[in-house]
Amino acid sequence: MNHWVYDYETLKNCFLGVFEHYKTDEVKVFTICKYRNDSEDLIDFFKQNIQFNEWHIGFNCISFDAQITQYIIKNADGLLELDAEEAANAIYGKAQDCIDRQDKKEWQEYTERQIRIRQIDIFKLNHWDNPAKRSSLKWIQFSMDWYNVQDMPIHHADGIHSIDDLKMVASYCRNDVKSTKEIYNRSKQQIKLRLDLTKEYRINLNSASEPRISKEIFMYFLCKATGAKKGYIKNLRTYRQEIVCKDLLLDYISFDKNLTQFNELKELFNNLVIYNGETKGSFKHSIKYRGVKTDFGLGGVHGAKRGIYESGNGMIIMSSDVTSFYPNLAIQNKWSPAHLPKDIFCEQYEWFFKERKKIPKSDPRNYVYKIILNATYGLSNEENSFLYDPELTMRITINGQLSLMMLYAMLLENVPGAIPIMQNTDGLETMIPENQQEKYLDICKEWEDLTNLNLEHDTYLKMIVPDVNNYIALHNYKEISLDEYEKLSKDGVSIVKKEDGKAYHAKTKCKGRFEFPKALHKNKSYQVVSKALYHYFLNGVEPEDYIKSNRNIFEYCAGVRIKGNWQFKQTCVINGDVTSEDMQKTIRYYVSKQGCKIIKENKSDKRVIQVEAGRWLQTVYNEHVDIPWDEYDIDERFYIEKINKEIKALVPEKFDLQIKMF
């Protein structure tokens, strides 16, 4: 079977399409311009794709490239009658129409069903069209350490004016196709899952994001249970002019009368009225309890006490998470969107929960049911979803926060010597005397009986916590095979040990600034800093020693991208002369001893912001070059300062001692 990874470049006087076989290095390039006219060959290629059911795999292809493909197929005869530049200009007009529709948030001309050549869109599949994850191909190139992070070298409205221009555009397009193919290869498991779901449910989920999978499969079962048509359920919503929160609170929500902070919090929710579905950012409150500041909103609770916590000397770190907390709150209390039959919705939602518990995590269905459980809660607050009912969202999140705070208070008030560490939406981390573990678990059981929810417990050896969004947690050691030990001991990151001929491994959880590797849509800038902190806090490796041991240039790099009315500029001093040049919209760079200054400049008011403030210089590294390490000219002082700043916030005495010594 032949399928093709592809990308198009559409300029006013030139169309260029590059296709690379999804398994081999075979490449097909089609050009329509005054230097070469492959119109007939391109159309024949599309006919071959249709005849033999060959798919196209692209990045944002359903809303752009596939629209152009369908336009060419539909208008093939007319395009063949035009000369090359006229045909290219006609295709360019269609490309601009696609962009205009995207900008206006309008539907594209051709639905996915109308596109003759089937598509896999890895942009949509990874949900990179979501505002919280929005990522261009260039940003993903940076995130996956691609060898060439390159913007289009010629503006589409300028067109090409020489063979060299054409070669430059072709080289750029091939780079995009190769990087798209790399993302495809990294997404194979996710793609297979979607192909299997499409076959099982006869719903096109080939390019579906996780929330869309949740919507479509839940809708499939609702239609089956109710006998209603998909088109009917799809248009259902419940809009709320006001949500009176006192009507939502569960009867069991209560706090000891001496806990004024929590009773005041409950009263604030009790008096809260939310108008016109404004459920995002319209409520904020903070309390301080046992030295920990905890923040509340309409989505979740977040609190942490900065510090380094370590089990030992009679103390242990307990971690307790509520199993599928928000979905389970709805299941146990029989909550549903008001426009859907309660019994059917609740029965189906609970079925997904119970079925998932029966299925091993290695089974893809476990993952699918997890998606459905989590996304269904989120979709109750999305206006474009048939599950939309913001009152359901508020029932879950407000009661969830108050329920978790009940557990928090019960533990801290009744477990002698308990020290709060962190509270984060669906769980708590608490340091307790080891001899109080049984009492801790008894209190948790009391809370479970009261709420009909379940807690999953774990213990940590160590936690490094600057704040609730950034931390490292080291689990207790678990026995592994000697083969696993040999493999893990070579990765340079895993925490492993041998004792009495047995091997053990301690898992780590890293979040925020400490996280690595990161999901591709996240900012992985200066990953060497995250790794150095990991090795300092867990292995006792000094920052200077780690920096000298890490010779991966990509981990010293940062990425920046420009939006709106701004542009990047680079200013350099060479032999006493100052030079300045405009730069592309996505830049990869590292801090160097003999570099330049990269700035962001506002095109309107000429405001200037340094990418790295202060004395630090940067070297642009959009194209990877493998050279001896010293030639990169890394300024190690910058990275060591960043690492030490993080350490100092948690271990100030380390630096106080150094100051006294000198």
> In the structure encoding, which two tokens stand for residue 104, read together?
């206006």
Judged against a pLDDT cut of 50, whether residue 657 lies above it is answered with no
Band of residue 660 on the pLDDT scale cut at 50, 70, 90: very low
Fold of 242-468: Palm domain of DNA polymerase (3.90.1600)
- Cα–Cα distance, 413 to 427 (Å, whole number): 17
CB 217 within 8 A of CB 193: no
For residues 284-295, give the mean pLDDT.
Answer: 94
Q: How confident is the model at residue 575 (pLDDT cuts 50, 70, 90)?
A: confident
pLDDT value of residue 655 = 66
177-181, 367-371, 433-437, range with the lowest pLDDT: 367-371
Q: What is the dihedral of CA 67, 522, 192, 324, to 10 degrees?
A: -120
**Segment 441-472, tens digit of pLDDT:** 999 999 999 999 999 999 999 999 999 999 99
Question: What does residue 237 show for φ and ψ, rounded to 5 degrees?
Answer: -155, 160
Query: What SS3 state is found at 365?
Result: helix
Tens digit of each residue's pLDDT (9 = 90 or more) over 157-172: 999 999 999 999 999 9
**How far is 19 from 29, CA to CA, in rounded Å?**
6
| 102-111, 171-180, 361-370, 562-571: range with lowest mean pLDDT | 361-370
Other CB atoms within 10 Å distance of the CB of residue 627: 9
pLDDT tens for residues 187-237? 999 999 999 999 999 999 999 999 999 999 999 999 999 999 999 999 999
Other beta carbons within 10 Å of 549? 11
Q: Higher-confidence residue: 632 or 563?
A: 632
**Which residue in 560, 546, 419 sits closest to 493, CA to CA?**
546
pTM, to two decimals: 0.93
In this prediction, residue 656 carries a pLDDT of 60
Is residue 199 helix, strand or coil?
helix
Output the six-digit token pair for 601: 């400049």
d(CA 145, CA 69): 30
Structure confidence at residue 365 (pLDDT): 86
Q: Residue 350 above 60 pLDDT?
A: yes
Alpha helices, H only, 120-256: 122-125, 137-143, 163-186, 188-201, 210-226, 230-234
DSSP 254-319: ---TT-HHHHHHHHHHHT-EEETT--SSS--EEEEETTEEEEE-SS-EEEE--EEEE-BTTEEEEE
One DSSP character per residue, 379-423 reads HTT-TTSTT--HHHHHHHHHHHHHHHHHHHHHHHHHSTT-EEEEE
The answer to whether the CB of 269 falls within 8 A of the CB of 285 is no
**Residue 440 is encoded by which pair of tokens?**
């801790």
Q: Return the CATH number of the domain spanning residue range 4-201.
A: 3.30.420
Residue 611 CA to residue 571 CA, distance in Å, equals: 12
Q: What pLDDT does 32 receive?
A: 98
Mean pLDDT of 353-362: 89
* pLDDT at residue 204 in the model: 96
pLDDT class of 362 with cuts at 50, 70, 90: confident
DSSP code of residue 108: P
* Contacts of residue 145, Cβ cutoff 8 Å, sequence gap at least 6: 554, 624
Q: Please write the tens of the pLDDT for every residue from 44-89.
A: 999 999 999 999 999 999 999 999 999 999 999 999 999 999 999 9
14-21 and 4-11 beta bridge pairing: antiparallel
Q: What is the pLDDT of residue 206?
A: 96
- Please give, one letter per residue, the 3-state secondary structure of 469-514: CEEEEEECCEEECHHHHHHHHCCCCCEEEEECCEEEEECEEEEHHH
Of the given ranges (245-249, 476-480, 576-580), which has the lowest mean pLDDT?
576-580
Burial 220-250 (b: 16+ CB within 10 A, else e): bbbbeeeebeeeebeebebebeebebeebbb
Residue 344 has pLDDT above 90, yes or no: yes
Asked if 255 contacts 263 with a C-beta cutoff of 8 angstroms, the reply is yes
Q: Where are the domains of the chain?
A: 4-201, 242-468, 474-549, 553-636
pLDDT score recorded for residue 475: 96
The mean pLDDT of 385-392, rounded to a whole number, is: 95
pLDDT per residue as tens digits for the range 226-239: 999 999 999 999 99
Average pLDDT over residues 367-390: 92
pLDDT given at position 564? 87
Would you call 24 exposed, middle or buried from its count of C-beta atoms within 10 A (0-12, 13-18, 19+)?
exposed
Peptide bond just before 327 cis, omega within 30 deg:
no
End-to-end CA separation in angstroms for the chain: 70
Closest C-alpha among 15, 17, 20 to residue 4: 20
Whether 415 has a pLDDT exceeding 90, the answer reads yes
Q: What percent of the chain has pLDDT over 90?
A: 91
**CB neighbour burial string for 100-139, b if at least 16 within 10 angstroms, e if fewer:** ebeeeeeebebebeebebbbbbbbbbbbbbeeeeebbbbb
Average per-residue pLDDT for the chain: 94
With contact defined as beta carbons under 8 Å apart, do 193 and 368 qualify?
A: yes
What is the amino acid identity at position 402? L
